[in-house]
A and B are shown apart, each in its own frame.
Chain A
Amino acid sequence: MIGLIAALATVASATTHASWVDVGTFSVAAAIVLAGAIGVVVARNPVHSALMLVMTLFGVAVLFVLQRDSFLAAVQVIVYAGAIVVLFLFVIMFLGVDREDNIAAEPLRGQRPLAIGLVALGTTGLLLLGQVSGWTTGAPHVAGPDTGQPNVNLLGKSLYTTYLFPFEATAALLIIAVVGAVVLARRPPPSPNPVDDQGGAGPVDATGDIVAADADAASRPGEGGSPLGAPHASGVAGSPEEVGS
């Protein structure tokens, strides 16, 4: 699919004057985007929703390529379709919620027609506003010119000079997100027992043995090093079997 996008990029860059290629590509990509978006909303199975989301993301990547923005198209495909949707699918499969969803159930009476009406009203208002007062307003060349060249150089330079502090804050944000995900997805401990932290290999009935090992280590403080600790612990772990037999 990346090869397809690259082929589209070469077509779009080679035929700058043949605008019907742009129109055709835009039409196909817009149809893909809208069909995928509608599929995300109306699909009953969450797995189908995720696959429709992949379709929409590829369509948006094609639209990025069509606007001479191949770097963000590649990032879109790699990050979104390669990481985020795969994460969605992992969670769907992990939780086992890939069963049919009852769309027709409407817990709040009248909420759904109200939502459809409000969204349709807002969409129509935005489109009419764009038609009446112009879509694009604003000052050009605020953060540096987009020269229409391959924009990786320009993007990297802008990212590492003008936007350096947000870039570093992005790194901090990713670290925080990773730590938060680990904390949230961690299975809670079944019974808080602080003694278990000391004897890693110790079974449940070895609590008294671990205490004895502590007393043993306390009586001989010279052997407290970690290389000696491992055979010592194995000897302690072997001792309940001898006691049991």
Chain B
Amino acid sequence: MTVNPDWYLALGVVLFSIGALGVLIRRNVLVMFMCVELMLNAANLTFVTFARVLHDIGGQVLVFFVLVVAAAEVVVGLGIVVAIFRRRANATADDLHLMKG
């Protein structure tokens, strides 16, 4: 009994699904961000698995870029969250339906 690459890919599928479910059913903006991070991690796991299976370094380079883009996304997104929370106290995703400045 050995570890198939399929196991990693199936784990990536389940992890991505949990993240997508969290984005869909949670209302707190910060928790939604964390669920986006879960989905990015599922994609990273899939990239690394494919890089190992196909003997290709490109998957690992893409994981590197995904990490950088995730860091930039979190920085800008949390800046937006701080700017929103400065205007209104309790901001769930339902309260943010006005795209006014």
A residues engaging B (CB < 8 A)?
19-20, 22-23, 26, 30, 33-34, 37-38, 40-41, 43, 46, 49-50, 53, 56-57, 60, 63-64, 66-69, 71-72, 75-76, 79-80, 83-84, 87-88, 91-92, 94-95, 97, 101, 103, 105, 107, 111-112, 115-116, 118-120, 122-123, 126-127, 130, 135-136, 138-147, 151, 154-155, 158-159, 162-163, 166, 170, 173-174, 176-178, 180-181, 183-185, 187
Partner among A103, A143, A178 whose Cβ is within 8 Å of the Cβ of B58: A143
Please determine whether B15 and A107 come into contact, CB atoms closer than 8 angstroms.
Answer: no
Which B residues from 52 to 67 make CB contacts under 8 A with A?
52-58, 60-61, 63-65, 67
Q: In the assembled complex, which residues on chain A have CB atoms less than 8 Å from the CB atom of B57?
A: 143-146, 151, 154-155, 158
Q: Work out how many contacts link A and B, with CB atoms closer than 8 A.
A: 236
With contact pairs A72-B48, A184-B82 given, residues A123 and B14 touching in the complex (Cβ less than 8 Å): yes
Please determine whether A155 and B61 come into contact, CB atoms closer than 8 angstroms.
Answer: yes
Partner among B2, B26, B35, B67 whose Cβ is within 8 Å of the Cβ of A23: B2
Binding site of B, secondary structure by majority: helix, strand, loop or mixed? helix
Please determine whether B25 and A170 come into contact, CB atoms closer than 8 angstroms.
Answer: no
Closest to B95 in A: A107
Closest to B51 in A: A146
Q: In the assembled complex, which residues on chain A have CB atoms less than 8 Å from the CB atom of B25?
A: 41, 111-112, 115-116
CB distance from A173 to the nearest CB of B (A): 5
CB distance from A112 to the nearest CB of B (A): 5
For the complex, give the distance between the alpha carbons of A94 and B86 in Å.
11
Q: In the assembled complex, which residues on chain B have CB atoms less than 8 Å from the CB atom of A76?
A: 44, 67
28 contacts between A and B (CB under 8 A): A30-B11, A34-B11, A40-B22, A41-B25, A50-B34, A60-B44, A63-B8, A67-B52, A72-B44, A76-B44, A88-B33, A94-B82, A105-B27, A116-B21, A118-B24, A130-B6, A136-B9, A138-B54, A140-B55, A146-B52, A155-B60, A159-B61, A166-B65, A173-B72, A177-B72, A184-B83, A185-B83, A187-B86
